[in-house]
Amino acid sequence: MDGDCSNSALTSDSIEATTPQGETRRRMRWLMLAMAGAAILLAFAGWPMLRVHLQSVAVLDLVGNKPVPSWLRRFVSEPIAVRDLQLPLASGTVRARLYTPVRPKNAPAIIVLHGVHHLGIDEPRLENFAISMAACGIQVLTPELPDIKDYQVGANSIATIGESAEWMTGEDGGRPVGVLGLSFSGGLSLLAAAEPQYQKDIRFVLAVGSQDEMSRVAAYYRTGEDERPDGTEEMLAPHEYGPLVLEYEHVGEFVPAQDVAAIRAVLRAHLYEDSAAERVALAKLNVTQAAEAKRLMDTTLPATRTALERADERHADDMAAVSPHGRLATLKTPVYLLHGAGDNIIPSAETEWMASELPKRSLKAVLISPVLSHLNLDGAEPTVADQVKLVHFFAEVLHAAEVQ
């Protein structure tokens, strides 16, 4: 069922939020530096580049739930309409949402793909980002990836991504669209762009916090190490979320068949961050099942890591099917790569690998930023220079999205 509503990036209460005095001063300093840099850009590149830099600052503030100065709000103030859709794709009908600026009648379009999360296109951060981008004057389609929503990182989603781009291109008069993939969806977006049947429909890809080689990411969950292209190791304690997703995906390989439903319910509630449901699911377990659940939930146990390693070996081919590694050398689509320096779900070494494999003509920009963790703007102690670099990177993406 379709539903229309008017909205704006400026309706969020977060815009009026207050910050501690020290944080406000720091933010004003970096904002002033960003604006000074933007003014220099204006002298060389003109108003369009200055405008996207101003929009970049505003969008990043909105997504980060930070106050937007009143003078900056006008750059993300387009009124928008939001419609729920059912996309009739070749691989099956999928739910989607379209955010459309009301006034620009020929607005360019992008697709934004959610990460592994049970809320799918209803995830608040995704909705906030889509609203903010649409308020810049860009159409934003957020198709739901059923497998990804159900914590299944599978090759089926590649077709859903490519067919969604194909559908949006058809709706937009034949103009190819930008594709922004978050987390594992970023790697899958690159694989869709590498497929000949979808290349004409994808204008560029932005992969944020994404995998290059799934088996290497899975090994990182067990070891806390991810090798970089130069042979050095990124050392970072992995978040439990990653290995728990792998356990949930193949829970039948970790516990006896008669215990699968009960253990899956516990893992699901934990991944959903639903503590009440998790307590209910745990209370239903017998003694044996409780021990199984405790073992699986502690992803640092040697026995759990051994079980994960065996499961990874059994699914090596499945992991290769969702890995851009070795399949990017001939990619002609422009690519932008962004990764959090402290990402402990998909380590930033993965973006280094993608950058090393992409042709120079395709790799438009790459940034590993301490401003980001995984998909949140909550990195540890970024400098003013780090903030400015992120503003400039995202301004480049906005410019690519807005070019007709």
Average pLDDT for residues 314-342, to the nearest whole number?
Answer: 96
Contact yes or no for 322/153 (Cβ under 8 A): yes
Share of the chain above pLDDT 70, in %: 88
Question: Quick one: average pLDDT of 227-235?
Answer: 95
Q: Measure the CA–CA gap between 205 and 191, rounded to whole angstroms.
A: 10
- Given a cut of 80, whether residue 1 has pLDDT beyond it is no
**Size of the chain, expressed as the number of residues it contains:** 404
Task: Tell me how far CA of residue 275 lies from CA of 111, 270, 271, in angstroms.
Answer: 33, 7, 10
Q: Where are the domains of the chain?
A: 1-235+321-404, 251-314
CATH superfamily of 1-235+321-404: Alpha/Beta hydrolase fold, catalytic domain (3.40.50.1820)
Q: Inform me whether the pLDDT recorded for 292 exceeds 60.
A: yes
Distance CA 114, CA 186 (A): 9
- pLDDT(376) > 70: yes
Give dist(CA 358, CA 378) in Å, integer: 28
Task: List, for residues 171-217, the tens digit of each pLDDT value.
Answer: 999 999 999 999 999 999 999 999 999 999 999 999 999 999 999 99
In the predicted model, what is the mean pLDDT of the chain?
89
The residue that leads in pLDDT, 268 or 10, is 268
Least confident of 27-41, 221-235, 299-313: 27-41
* pLDDT tops 70 at residue 35: no
Give the per-residue pLDDT at 15. 27
Q: What is the pLDDT of residue 263?
A: 97
The runs of H, that is alpha helices, within 172-314 are: 184-194, 196-199, 214-223, 241-249, 260-271, 275-283, 287-297, 302-314
Residue 230 has pLDDT above 90, yes or no: yes
pTM: 0.88
Distance, in Å, from the CA atom of 182 to the CA atom of 211, rounded to the nearest integer, reads 10
pLDDT of residue 48: 73
The residue among 10 and 377 whose pLDDT is bigger is 377
State yes or no: pLDDT of 309 exceeds 80.
yes
